[in-house]
């Protein structure tokens, strides 16, 4: 288990893999069960701007991030690219293909390739 520091407090990465309510569609999103951390809603693909670099939780922005396209990265496969609706920050995020709530493949395939 990896730990990060948040305001001087050690924090477990395991604690970040929890259910959350989507800020865009208000659906309850279950924790991911495939060994990766979920950071977007599987039903609308929207995310929240919490990271500057993947996993750092360093962003103070906290605005919604719109899914704007797809990229393919070596070793990570297809990723949804999110763009922050407030500051424009872009971040690719791994698709969730297995588990209790995989990403809606029809929505994923409707995104343009970037």
Number of domains comprising the chain? 1
Range of the domain at 86: 3-110
The tens digit of pLDDT for each residue in 5-39 reads: 444 444 445 456 788 999 999 999 998 877 777 88
User: What order of strands is seen across the sheet that includes strand 90-94?
Assistant: 47-48, 64-73, 77-84, 90-94
- Residue 99: Cβ-neighbour burial (10 angstroms; 0-12, 13-18, 19+): middle
pLDDT digits (tens, 9 = 90+) for 42-89: 999 999 998 888 778 889 999 999 999 999 998 888 999 999 999 999
Q: Whole-model pTM?
A: 0.81
Beta strand segments in the chain, E:
3-6, 9-12, 20-21, 28-29, 47-48, 64-73, 77-84, 90-94
């Amino acid at each position: 288990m990896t730990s990060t520091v948040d305001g001087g407090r050690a924090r477990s990465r395991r604690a970040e893999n929890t259910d959350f309510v989507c800020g865009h569609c208000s659906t309850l999103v279950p924790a991911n069960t495939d060994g990766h951390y979920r950071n977007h809603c599987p039903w609308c693909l929207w995310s929240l701007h919490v990271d500057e670099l993947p996993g750092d939780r360093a962003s103070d922005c906290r605005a919604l991030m719109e899914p704007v396209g797809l990229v393919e990265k070596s070793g990570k496969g297809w990723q949804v690219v999110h763009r922050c609706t407030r500051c424009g920050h872009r971040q690719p995020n791994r698709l969730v293909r297995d588990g209790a709530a995989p990403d809606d493949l029809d929505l994923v395939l409707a995104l343009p390739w970037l």
